[in-house]
Amino acid sequence: MGPDGAQIGIVPVEDALKRAQDLDLDLVEVAPQAVPPVCRIMDYGKFKYERDIRQKEARKKQTRVEVKEIKFRPKIDPHDYATKKGHVERFLKAGARVKVTIMFRGREMAHTELGRKILERLVSDLEGVATVESEPKQDGRNMIMVIAPVKKQVPAAK
């Protein structure tokens, strides 16, 4: 292919290299798996620059999903629970996933069901706002659960 995108046809490699050198451009193999391989005469530096710009734009358009963490204790006070639940709601409304951790100390490890109850209560309080992404699981002295914001249903266009 020529520098303007026009088809030149099947040409020996030496002729193609000579044409590229005459135009002070590069001969770049575009499709090596094709038979015969497809090459293009172009300014490779300019091509790389434009490709990098396109990739940078694509990265800008990507959304990053944040994971916020909030920690509870098994014997949490009702007011503290309400405050932390408010934080979790705020994180979810901002579109972040939330990792809820229940930390156990000492003899509290014998009563892990208290932590599970707190997590179940949190999920029931956040009904409609959040969905459980990973069920509660014990990880050493901590019990961990990840909740994600509910995806909003887009009304169908008529």
- Output the pTM of the full model: 0.54
Both tokens of 63, joined, read 């959304």
CA separation (Å) from 25 to 20, 29, 52, 69, 96? 5, 13, 20, 54, 49
Q: What percent of the chain has pLDDT over 70?
A: 92
Does residue 153 have a pLDDT over 70?
Answer: no
Question: What average pLDDT does this structure show over 132-142?
Answer: 85
The more confident residue out of 89 and 34 is: 89
Does residue 125 have a pLDDT over 60?
Answer: yes
Does residue 124 have a pLDDT over 60?
Answer: yes
Helix (H, G, I), strand (E, B) or coil at 44: helix
Domains of the chain: 13-60 (3.10.20.80), 67-149 (3.30.110.10)
